[in-house]
């Protein structure tokens, strides 16, 4: 079982005052026990690197999924050697991220959409985020119906996996 975690999951895991903290601790324990594989996108790593702290350090300990570029050249978060796919893939990725803008509530940004896109291409079983713009019952359902990749909060994944 593979799950790509968004940047806010790592922040939740590092802050015991956050609502999702206990659920993130369960998921991290499950990963150590081999019950789930936690992964991260370069988009999320880039976002976390803006304020290097425990959340960023934690994110650097998990496997990084292949990086599929979206957006303008100035919005890229990795070197050319880390890019995956063809120019046709990049064109389709741009279409997908624009569809995500429409399906998600306002307030999601290109890093969130890029992380979802990387999870989709990595054939993850889940994209995990506590970002309400993506995970709410309306947006999460619409996104899953359109692309097939489920968007869950950490607490929902804990329930799904019976942890």
What pLDDT, on a 0 to 100 scale, did the predictor assign at position 110?
A: 59
pLDDT tens digits, 133-150 = 666 667 777 778 888 888
pLDDT tens digits, 38-77 = 999 998 999 899 998 999 999 999 999 987 666 556 566 6
| Cβ neighbours, 10 Å, residue 143 | 22
Judged by phi (left if over 0) then psi (alpha if -120 to 50, else beta), residue 123 lies in: left
Mean pLDDT calculated for residue range 2-11: 95
Domains of the chain (ranges; CATH) run: 2-160 (3.40.50.1010)
How buried is 80 (Cβ within 10 angstroms: 0-12 exposed, 13-18 middle, 19+ buried)? exposed
How buried is 61 (Cβ within 10 angstroms: 0-12 exposed, 13-18 middle, 19+ buried)? exposed
What pLDDT, on a 0 to 100 scale, did the predictor assign at position 44?
A: 92
pLDDT tens digits, 74-94 = 566 666 667 677 677 777 777
Local confidence band at 103 (pLDDT 50, 70, 90 cut-offs): low
């Amino acid at each position: 079982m593979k799950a790509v975690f968004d940047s806010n999951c790592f922040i939740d895991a590092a802050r015991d005052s956050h609502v999702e903290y206990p659920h993130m601790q369960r998921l991290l324990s499950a990963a150590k026990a081999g019950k789930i594989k936690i992964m991260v996108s370069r988009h999320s790593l880039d976002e976390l690197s803006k304020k290097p702290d425990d959340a960023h350090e934690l994110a650097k300990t998990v496997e990084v999924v292949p990086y599929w570029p979206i957006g303008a050249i100035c919005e890229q978060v990795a070197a050319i050697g880390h890019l995956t796919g063809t120019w046709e893939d990049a064109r389709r990725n741009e279409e997908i991220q624009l569809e995500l803008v429409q399906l998600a509530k306002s307030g999601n940004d290109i890093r969130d959409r890029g992380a979802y896109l990387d999870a989709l291409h990595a054939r993850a079983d889940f994209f995990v985020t506590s970002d309400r713009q993506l995970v709410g019952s309306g947006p999460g359902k619409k996104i899953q119906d359109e692309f097939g990749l489920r968007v869950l909060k950490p607490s929902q994944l804990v329930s799904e996996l019976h942890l």
